[in-house]
Amino acid sequence: MSNSKPVRIAIVGTGLIGPRHAEAVLKDPDAELACIVDPNPVVEAVADRLKCPWYRSVEEMLASPAKPDAAMVCTPNHTHVSLSKELLEGGLHVLCEKPISVDIGSGQELIKCAKARKLKLMIGHHRRFNRYVVTTKKLLPSLGRIIAINGLWTMYKPTEYFDPPTEWRRLDSAGVVFINLIHEIDILHHLFGPIVRVYAEKTVSQRGYLADEGAAITLKFASGIVGTFLLSDAVVSPHSFESGTGENPMIPEVGQDFYRIFGSEGSLSVPDMTMWKYPSSTRSWTEKLDRENLEVPGMGIPFELQMSHFVKVIKGQEEPSCSGIDGLRALAVCEAIKKAMEVSKPVDI
């Protein structure tokens, strides 16, 4: 398509995340909000507010005379593949929210579908654009060889989070592993390379839903790095990506660390960006460590940066930051973690 012509993007699904993506489209000078697709009649008011057409289904949108160039899929996890394939088969490029799918086989089919039609498929792991993640990746070489990492995603989701019309969050396909941990796994892949083995002990269930609530996890990376990760959406805690970075305006920012990275030359905690190193080449536990609090430059809102990147991908100016394969890799690790929680044994990936 012409590089001067705005890319017309549809938003499919208007739960918590859909309207945020719509706002990102509206703020991009190279994009245009084509429409919103959602069967819920109350969405008509959202479309009126955003000044765009509203369609009840993808089929209805594809049959319209003003078919868009691309679509952003923001629907429940178990619908990602079917809707994304319908959009691709209709000739649209797709940015699909994470996870790419709820099982490996259907995710592979989605990737094949995009490849067969020579269309772009990107997965919405937007935190690759977060300024703390970008800065951390740049700082890694200064830590020497990375030996180990420690991560936390611990928060409390209230009862209404699981109530209608979002009762699908009670399903096994929508627990904290697929909804929240998958973001963390993608960041860990982005920073440290592929994870090849996991082990997990699940936390005690407090809600009684099919959806998992958390686990204590060990990770082995192909590079030799080892890690631990503590996950729970049913505890009171300030240690999570959202609370630490303030990325989600609905969640108060407290700035507590959620990653600790340990290297042969230094260590770093994120997002307080505290680096610890010895003042000289002498390294010994008897030496006093220097502490430095590093600045993190502003970069913009990750959703908006991701949308701008998606537009450039469609125009052939950039390669996807998170391809279908990248999304599938994160899903494979999450599947392995869920399996390890069930069998109480390490799982190779």
pLDDT digits (tens, 9 = 90+) for 86-144: 999 999 999 999 999 989 999 999 999 999 999 999 999 999 999 999 999 999 999 99
Q: Quick check: 5 pLDDT over 60?
A: yes
Average pLDDT over residues 292-312: 94
* pLDDT tens digits, 32-42: 999 999 999 88
Q: What predicted TM-score, i.e. pTM, was given to this entire model?
A: 0.90
Give pLDDT, residue 282: 83
Strands (E), the chain: 7-12, 31-37, 54-55, 70-73, 93-97, 121-124, 146-154, 195-202, 214-221, 226-232, 259-263, 267-270, 274-277, 290-293, 347-348
Give pLDDT, residue 2: 61
Q: By three-state DSSP, how is residue 86 classified?
A: helix
46 Cβ contact partners less than 8 Å away, ≥ 6 residues apart:
14, 19, 36, 54
Confidence of residue 1 (pLDDT cuts 50, 70, 90): low
Mean pLDDT score across all residues of the chain: 94
